[in-house]
A and B are shown apart, each in its own frame.
Chain A
Amino acid sequence: MTETVRRPPFDPELEAVLTLLSDQMPPSITPEMIPLLRQAAPASEVSVDDVLAAAGIVRRDVTVPGHDGDEIEVSVLSRQGRTGVGPGIFHTHGGGMIMGDRFVGLDLLLGWINDLDAVVVTVEYRLAPEFPDPYPVRDCYAGLVWTAEHAAELGIDPDRLLIAGGSAGGGLAAGTALIARDEGGPALAGQVLIYPMLDDRDRTVSTTQMDGIGVWDRSSNITGWSALLGDRRGTDDVSVYAAPARATDLTGLPPAFIDCGSAEVFRDEDVAYASALWAAGVQAELHVWPGGFHGFDIMAPHTVLAKAMRTARDSWIARTLGV
């Protein structure tokens, strides 16, 4: 018999969803699954535009300079007929550093665009393993720089520019904020780190608890970090921009919002990052939703916990943007 690992139970409503979705979802993602998973992702173009049209949102794709000046694409999303200057949100999407496109998490963006009248710039950073570190975080930073430089033309008030991302996108948002601080880049009004992927070292209690269970388990996380860092994963040769959990100096960073579930790999690194921000004198708001698995707000939006998570997050963004 295997040793029983103690871990927080899933919230019953979320567990019911997980049970139904589990036949479509392997708990553990291994490197050889990456091509298949990318293929399996739905062709997003048509449905994205349908969703945007239904929400009354205009999309403009722009080619901008990425890392080393290579061309990357961003999409500028705003409410139809929007005029003047207002809040801006620079978005870095999730997908474990290995999957997804800039429209992953679109559902979250719609509310920010329509309810907060924000202009969202979402960046198509290049994915590992084909483009390992530092490509992803440097593409994100280049996209942020472009956004800040074009703030006036985009209708963004430069004093009200946030960075936001979920999962791998949360880690990239935190890393981008660190680069911006260190290289005198754009000033950020806040960083929204949604269940962020921050630590490549695979040494938390939560990662051992979520092994072969839930969503984006320990093996999947190792797959993602290995794609990004190769042999450097877990060694001393990893920059704080790739794995912000390694940062020892968090002073001077923008205020942070961090949320996660208690039943996910990222729980402990996310809590630790919030604690480290407080220790450095940075304002931070932390929510750990009991029994939540990774990404439960996207997968189970009808549940009471998902609604509470969205409400708390959107409230922070509205307060921070002064909406």
Chain B
Amino acid sequence: MQELVGRLTALDPAASESLKVVTYFDVLVAGGVGLQALLRGAAVLSGTVAGAVVGRRTYRVGPDGGRLPDGAVGPGSGTGAGAETGTGTETGTGAAGTAVVGAAEAPAATAGSREHRISRPVADGRVWLEREGSAHANDDMVVERLALAVDLVRARHDGEPGSSLATLIDAARDVGERRIALSRLRLDPARAYRVAALPASRDVSAALSGTVSGDASGAEPRNASGAPSTVVATPDGLVRAVVLGRDTGITGPAGLGLVQPADRLAESFRTALLALRLSSASSAVVDAGDLGVVLAAVGALEHVATQQPDVVALSRLDTRTRAVLDELAAAESVRAAATALGMHHSTLQVRHDALTTELGYDPRSLHGRARFQLARLLLRLAEARPAG
């Protein structure tokens, strides 16, 4: 009943509620909504006006979900130049970070007001929140997820670069469609590439850290490196896919897929997703190519992972105990593990014995290591959700 729950209202201005923001936009994107529903979501969650300029069209939506006039505050008639300048600048430098633009730089804003725009570029435009006074705790997150979602839903329309990339890495599309996508993306069908999977909010240019192969160019306006990139919805949330040359470097957190012929990049993306999910919470890069048969094994077992007693046993352990096990399984000796963990050697030995009893196997024995590593990776898959 409605009185039990009230209604959806704006998020707490002072407390971060990132999970709610991510969830809200993920559900909208998965449901295939359009730009205006995304703006309504941003407006109701933030309790203020949300806007977008896409191509030549401006949309502004109030916190009650109602459409507002384009020109009142947004980049309308007299303000188009300002908005375009802002977009152009950010596109040129490839900066994808959130920009807070004061009223002075945004001629659209009411003169003398204390209104700020928290804005972010999207393909062929920009999205923003119009905020009186100082920004609320979730404003950056709302704008970030709004921008991602806008790019994603627009990429679904044919003809957009993101749509071609989504086709290229979709195993359900036939080879003819993928060849057309390659041509649109100006990728060489005779060459081999690999796909990297990144958390959706990561900035591609920063992730590529200047090591641009030059294999892929000009496909996405936002990305100065030239590597084609798009955000796709996966069963585990939104993920950014980037096409790389076979030797292109990237910084973590990221999953690198297997190197594949240009028309078989769906397999590269599939393995990149697995690799991303296997990367721990740290900023590691996991390369599917390094995992070999282990990758195939965890991929095949994923759907029964949570029913495996070895995985369940690890899931019950706290973070510190898991770290102890990781070190025990990886280190040359118990003594070396103790040093790495900052523990006394004999203390760790006692712990080692207790854990061997608890797990039912010794994670330092030959078989125990294999058993532990496989269970550990399956647990990561079961627990993984790409960080916003």
Give A residues with C-beta under 8 Å from B. Answer: 11-13, 15-17, 19-21, 24-25, 29, 37, 40-41, 94-96, 99-100, 104-105, 167, 215-216, 220, 294-295, 298-304, 306-307
Contact = CB atoms under 8 A, between A and B. Distances in A.
B28 A99 contact: no
Chief secondary structure at chain B's binding surface: helix
Nearest to B28: A16
14 contacts: A12-B31, A13-B40, A94-B1, A105-B2, A167-B2, A220-B1, A295-B2, A300-B8, A301-B65, A302-B43, A302-B64, A303-B37, A303-B65, A304-B36
Contact of B4 (A13, A25, A300): A25
B37 A96 contact: no
Nearest to B44: A302
Given A21-B8, A301-B65, A303-B40, A104 B2 contact: yes
A269 to B, nearest CB: 17
Nearest to B19: A20
Contact of B31 (A15, A20, A40, A220): A15
Contacts of B2: 94, 104-105, 167, 215, 295, 298-299
Nearest to A15: B27
Interface of B: 1-8, 20, 23-25, 27-28, 30-33, 36-37, 40-41, 43-44, 63-66
A95 B8 contact: no
Given A12-B33, A20-B24, A295 B40 contact: no
A96 B24 CA distance: 28
Task: Provide the main secondary structure of the chain A interface.
Answer: loop
Contacts of B65: 301-304, 306-307
Contact of A13 (B6, B28, B64): B28
A223 to B, nearest CB: 11
Contacts of B25: 16
A215 B32 contact: no
Contacts of A301: 7, 64-65
Nearest to A12: B31
A294 B30 CA distance: 22
Nearest to B29: A12
Given A16-B27, A95-B3, A306-B65, 5 more contacts: A12-B30, A12-B32, A96-B1, A167-B2, A298-B2
User: Which of B3, B5, B32, B65 has the most chain A CB atoms closer than 10 A to its own CB?
Assistant: B3
A19 B30 CA distance: 13
B3 A21 contact: no
A17 B66 CA distance: 17
A290 to B, nearest CB: 12
A304 B7 contact: no
Contacts of B64: 301-302
A307 B40 CA distance: 12
Contacts, number: 95
Contact of B5 (A25, A104, A307): A25
Nearest to A291: B31
Given A13-B40, A302-B64, A304-B65, A215 B31 contact: no
Contacts of B5: 21, 24-25, 215, 299
Nearest to A40: B4
A215 B1 CA distance: 6
Contacts of A303: 37, 40, 65
B18 to A, nearest CB: 13
A99 B3 contact: yes
A216 B7 CA distance: 15
The listed residue with most B CB atoms (<10 A of its CB), out of A16, A37, A99, A295, is: A16
A96 B6 CA distance: 15
Contact of B8 (A20, A40, A105, A216): A20
B37 A304 contact: yes
A275 B62 CA distance: 39
Nearest to A25: B5
Given A21-B8, A302-B43, A304-B37, A12 B28 contact: yes
Contacts of B1: 29, 94-96, 99-100, 167, 215-216, 220, 294-295
The residue in A12, A216, A302 that gathers the most chain B C-beta atoms within 10 A of its C-beta is: A302
A17 B8 contact: yes
A15 B28 CA distance: 8
B24 to A, nearest CB: 5
Contacts of A216: 1
A196 to B, nearest CB: 14
Given A13-B28, A13-B31, A13-B41, A41 B8 contact: no
A25 B1 CA distance: 9
Contacts of B33: 12-13
A117 B9 CA distance: 28
A25 to B, nearest CB: 4
B43 to A, nearest CB: 7
A185 B268 CA distance: 74
Given A20-B23, A307-B65, A298 B37 contact: no
Contact of A41 (B3, B23, B36, B44): B3
A263 to B, nearest CB: 13
A99 B41 CA distance: 30
Contacts of A20: 8, 20, 23-24
A10 to B, nearest CB: 8
Contacts of B37: 12-13, 303-304
A267 to B, nearest CB: 16
A102 B281 CA distance: 51
Contacts of A21: 5, 8
B95 to A, nearest CB: 29
**Which of B7, B23, B31, B65 gathers the greatest number of chain A CB atoms within 10 Å?**
B7
A104 B3 contact: yes
B27 A19 contact: yes
Contacts of A299: 2, 5-8
